[in-house]
Every structure is written in structure tokens, then in C-alpha cells.
Amino acid sequence: MAAHRRGQELASNQHGRLRAFAAAMRLALVLLLGTISFAADPVVVRAIKFADFKSVSPAEILDRFKEREVRLGVEKPYHPEDAEEARHYIAQLLAEKGRPDARIEIATKVVAPGRVEVQFRLLK
């Protein structure tokens, strides 16, 4: 009987630790993001920046986005898959300009609650 009770206490203790860990992770996300965004309150792109692009101007990149109807845009909802699509078209443009093996990094920065800045950086 004592062994059974001990087993129940261990299971209860593990469940309590798991709940505490989940609560700590939610708190960490709130501190990291500033707020918790729900489906009704999407994260919006505040700015799109381009760093270390020498052979292609930001205007050329934005024109390519417009031609290809890339969904990533300022004051539009941010979705990581849209940023990946944009990276693909930037790489395509760079390949046309003689940089077929260009590596492009995407970084997002929270600039206000529910607002992000998206930066594309050409790696050397």
C-alpha cells in the first residue's frame, strides 16, 4: 500500500513540475514578444530592410516582389513562409546578376507589440 501511495506522489509531483515548466515557458514568450498574439490579432510587418546587397538595389528587390506577387509587405500580416518565398525570389534575382550561390539570412526583430521588422542580409 505504501509503495502504491509513493507511486501516486511521484506521478503527482512530475505533473506539477510539468505544469510549472509550461507556465514558465508561457511567461518567457510573453517577455520575449511583448504580448501574446492570437489569430484575431496578427503580427504585422512594420518595415522590410536589406543589408549588404551591393549588386542589387532595394528598389529592384521590391520590384521583383511586386512582379511575383510576394505576400510579404509593409503593414501586412507577417507569416514566416512569406519571408521564405521572398528569400527565394531575392536569390533568383541575385543569380540573374551573377551570384548563383548567394546565401541570404532572414532576421525578424520585434519593434513594438504585434509589429516586426524583417531584414534580409546577404551573407558573404
Q: In this structure, which amino acid lies at residue 101?
A: D
For 44-123, the fitting CATH number among 3.40.50.10150, 3.30.70.20, 3.40.50.1240, 3.10.20.310 is 3.10.20.310
Taking the model in full, what pTM does it have? 0.67
Query: What local confidence, expressed as pLDDT, does residue 35 receive?
Result: 47
Cβ atoms within 10 Å of 121's Cβ, excluding its own: 15
| Confidence band for 124, pLDDT divided at 50, 70 and 90 | confident
* Residue 121 and residue 52 in contact, taking contact as beta carbons nearer than 8 Å: yes
Residue range 63-99, pLDDT digits in tens: 999 999 999 999 999 999 999 999 999 999 999 999 9
* Residue 42 and residue 78 in contact, taking contact as beta carbons nearer than 8 Å: yes
Residue range 10-66, pLDDT digits in tens: 555 565 665 655 555 564 555 555 545 455 578 999 999 999 999 999 999 999 999
116 phi and psi angles, rounded to 5 deg: -130, 155
- DSSP calls for 50-99: EES--SS-HHHHHHHHHHTT-S--TTSB--HHHHHHHHHHHHHHHHHTT-
